[in-house]
Structure 1
Amino acid sequence: MTTAQAITTLGLVHIYRSEGQDVAALSGVDLSVGAGEVVGLLGPSGSGKSTLLALLGGLFRPSAGKIFVGEHELSALTPSQLDAFQARETSLMLQGAQRNLIPYLTVRENVEFAQVEARRLGADVIGVGRGLELVGATEFADAKLGRLSQGQLQMAALAVAMAPSPGVLLADEPTSALDRVARERIVDTLMRVNEDQGTTVVVVTHDPEVADRLPRTVTIRDGRIGGEGRSGKEYAVVTADGFIPIPVHIRDQLPPGTLLRIEPDEAGYRIVPEVIGQDPGSGPVD
């Protein structure tokens, strides 16, 4: 059985150069994902969600802040330690199934190849047959990739990602460009992987139907956490520096210059909007 890993980021910042200028992809992200959780990362294009996923997978180091996956602080690992971490404890599925697969091998051969390095580094790899069965890829296991549908290719990529029996599965847009039936099957498979193996699953998605299937969602907006969703309810998240991002559906109702007053009431606290030079708002923001 997989040993699920918790994920924590503290003040995570990532800056890259674009056309001679510094661009902040992430601007202080504090995120906690419990061991064995399934979490979706949402947000518009360019919000930083895929950058966050890549950092969690150790593809590159953040400009500032810390990332903990299980007992590992990623920025403190040597290159060889990072290689071992990536081979044994986490799997990153890149967007686009073909980017995760060797085109001239069958699905089964891809899974076998994925286990080689993990086994060399001491990972408790899942059996090839069991891995194919887990993701529902048994029926086309010996097919060449060129004969598979997009949905089947994504299932093959999932089988490869689960080959080393990782504690964390990071999936970047795994339902992109799929039809509704294939999307549902991929989400069902991710949930089954979590339930059967205990794997912590973090999924980047822009699809609201996929997001509705996930027990927890985190919205990334302008490089920061802009809100969380739990069981269909949206919440603002108070960051470590006291920043409170306003959910989009409320922000659209508040004109620029609005002041938000936090005051106690019988239920605890309420937020009352006021506009400078105008009458105070008529009631709390729910």
Structure 2
Amino acid sequence: MTGLPVRCLQLRHTYRMHGEALVALDGIDLELEAGTSNAISGPSGSGKSTLVNLLAGLQRPSSGHVFIGEHELSAMTPTALLRIRAERVATAVQNPSRNLLPFGDPIDNIRFAQRGPRSYRRRVDLPDPAGLLGELGLGDLAGVAVDRLSGGERQRVALAVAMANHPAVLIADEPTSQLDSANRDRVADILRLITTRFGTTVVAVTHDPQVAEALDRTIRLRDGRIVEDSAA
């Protein structure tokens, strides 16, 4: 499966706190090309996490539209949204341990992740777990239990597990925040490889300018608005 474009039109999201409306996103217009790697950056409170939650279908916007390809996430029924998230959009959360079964090895984890899509359409085009690890340069970790892996290895395996169903879009929330510089660079390499090898559209939230520079494009937010949009 190749990547899909991601679009936001006049995206706005507010939260209620102590009876007041707090604006997290304020009229975001954004289009990410299919098969590109994109960094979402900005200071804490800028709206990064809200934006990627909306792109992943984890939340619905207060107003505006979110599209994955021709699918409008913001207008889908809960059942249709679950299907899109199972088949087309993958997420990797900030703590890799939350993405992984600790007592299984990477192959076990990939097989477990593939159970959902098979139940929807009996897909037969899912990748072989060992082959997927090999394509991402992780073949030597295939038989090692997750709880024996280092933090950097777990994060890279978590990205491989996110690719278990060959999603069209991969959304990674701060995938390098807990890593040293060497492991940060290895994770950035995998994010690029996912785009070049599989054509997947990658969206990664990051505070790290080195990670942002490694990707094709950087969108910087401040106070819920896009203040900078630059290609690498």
TM-score normalized by structure 1? Answer: 0.78
Which residue identity lines up with residue 58 of structure 2 in the other structure?
A: L
For structure 2, the 5+ residue unaligned runs are none
> Which deviates the most, 157-166 or 135-144?
135-144
Give distance in 2, aligned partners of 1:75 and 1:180. Answer: 37
Which residue identity lines up with residue 141 of structure 2 in the other structure?
A: F
Give distance in 2, aligned partners of 1:137 and 1:216. Answer: 26
Which residue identity lines up with residue 109 of structure 1 in the other structure?
A: D
How far 1:92 moved relative to its partner?
Answer: 0.9
Indicate the structure with greater helix content: 2
Give distance in 1, aligned partners of 2:70 and 2:231. Answer: 27
The residue aligned with 1:200 is: 201
The residue aligned with 1:136 is: 137
The residue aligned with 1:40 is: 39
Which residue identity lines up with residue 13 of structure 1 in the other structure?
A: R
Equivalent residues, number: 230
How far 1:131 moved relative to its partner?
Answer: 1.6
Which residue identity lines up with residue 73 of structure 1 in the other structure?
A: E
Give distance in 2, aligned partners of 1:139 and 1:18. Answer: 48
- State, as a whole percentage, how many aligned pairs show the same letter: 46
The residue aligned with 2:73 is: 74
How far 1:103 moved relative to its partner?
Answer: 2.2
Q: Does the 8 A contact of 1:15 with 1:63 survive in 2?
A: yes
How far 1:110 moved relative to its partner?
Answer: 0.8
Which residue identity lines up with residue 173 of structure 1 in the other structure?
A: E
TM-score normalized by structure 2? Answer: 0.95
State the SS of the aligned residue for 1:3. Answer: coil
* CA offset digits 1:217-241 (Å, max 9, x no partner): 000110011111223xxxxxxxxxx
Larger Rg: 1
State the SS of the aligned residue for 1:121. Answer: helix
State the SS of the aligned residue for 1:32. Answer: strand
Which residue identity lines up with residue 174 of structure 1 in the other structure?
A: P
For structure 1, the 5+ residue unaligned runs are 232-286
The residue aligned with 2:24 is: 25
Q: Does the 8 A contact of 2:90 with 2:171 survive in 1?
A: yes
Q: Does the 8 A contact of 1:36 with 1:200 survive in 2?
A: yes
Give distance in 2, aligned partners of 1:129 and 1:106. Answer: 11
Give distance in 2, aligned partners of 1:152 and 1:20. Answer: 44
Give distance in 2, aligned partners of 1:117 and 1:215. Answer: 31
How far 1:146 moved relative to its partner?
Answer: 1.7
Give distance in 1, aligned partners of 2:101 and 2:24. Answer: 30
